[in-house]
Amino acid sequence: MAEISTIARPYASALFNLAKEKKCLDEWSKMLDLLSNIVLDPQAKTFISDSKILDSEREKVILELCKGKIDQNIENFIKLLIENKRLLVLPDIAKFYQELKDEDEGVVEAQIIVAEKPTQKIVDDLIKSLEKRFNKKIEGKVEINKSILGGTKIIVGDTVIDASVRGQLDNLAYKLKA
């Protein structure tokens, strides 16, 4: 079977281009998030994967769950995914769509890993300094991970800024071995 990303990227790219043309990037992003959450639900996943269920029944149930929350274009997209047996790839399509949207808008996601929950002011200040450093709009996602012991570890794209106690201890251990 083909890699999921090989399948998902062309769909995401086509959706992104159409959404950009129709000037509805944000709206479609929200609709794709909704649909991804539905598809990721264990019961829905079981239902979608059941080979005894007809495509028409899958379509009817999914569209009923989204009634009034998706537009005609996304409804047609769902029908296409069902027809091509690609509905379970939807979360990956949504992820790649969001990456294209963020890139287009000059937004970069930063993963901020800390040992304890920081105040909102600390997060805001950190995001401001990251925006200056990378010269892009930064969306910060805070993750609590006690294993770093203290400090902060930040991942922005391929760049890792490790100012954690764990990182410093690992670095010291490496230097002592050399």
Look up the pTM and report it: 0.72
CATH of the domain at 85: 1.10.520.20
Distances (CA, A) of 91 to 24, 38, 62, 96, 102: 19, 9, 14, 9, 16
Buried-state track 140-170, b at ≥16 Cβ within 10 A, e below 16: bebeeeeebeeebbbbbeeeeebebebbeee
Residue 134 shares a structural domain with residue 164: yes
**What pLDDT digit, counting tens, does each position of 69-100 carry?**
999 999 999 999 999 999 999 999 999 999 89
Whether 135 shows a pLDDT value over 60: the answer reads yes
Cα 163 to Cα 143: distance, rounded to the nearest angstrom: 15
Q: Are 1 and 43 a contacting pair, CB within 8 Å?
A: no
Tokens of 111: 């993963």
Residue 90 shares a structural domain with residue 170: no
**What pLDDT digit, counting tens, does each position of 2-29 carry?**
688 889 999 999 999 999 999 999 999 9
Cα 38–41–43 angle (5° rounding)? 115
Q: Which residue range forms the structural domain that includes residue 13? A: 4-103
- Give the pLDDT confidence score for residue 2 in this predicted structure: 61
Residue 74 shares a structural domain with residue 136: no
**What pLDDT digit, counting tens, does each position of 26-80 carry?**
999 999 999 999 999 999 999 999 989 999 999 999 999 988 999 999 999 999 9
Residue 127 shares a structural domain with residue 170: yes
Residue 13 shares a structural domain with residue 81: yes
Residue 148 shares a structural domain with residue 172: yes
Residue 85 shares a structural domain with residue 152: no
**Domain edge (last residue) among 56, 86, 103:** 103
CATH of the domain at 125: 3.40.30
Residue 16 shares a structural domain with residue 35: yes
Residue 91 shares a structural domain with residue 153: no
Using alpha carbons, select from 152, 146, 144, 155 the residue that is nearest to residue 168: 152
Residue 13 shares a structural domain with residue 96: yes
Q: Are 165 and 148 a contacting pair, CB within 8 Å?
A: yes
Q: Considering its fold, how many domains does the chain have in total?
A: 2
Starting at the earlier edge strand, list the strands of the sheet with 107-114: 137-144, 107-114, 151-156, 159-164
Chain centroid, CA 5 distance in Å: 13
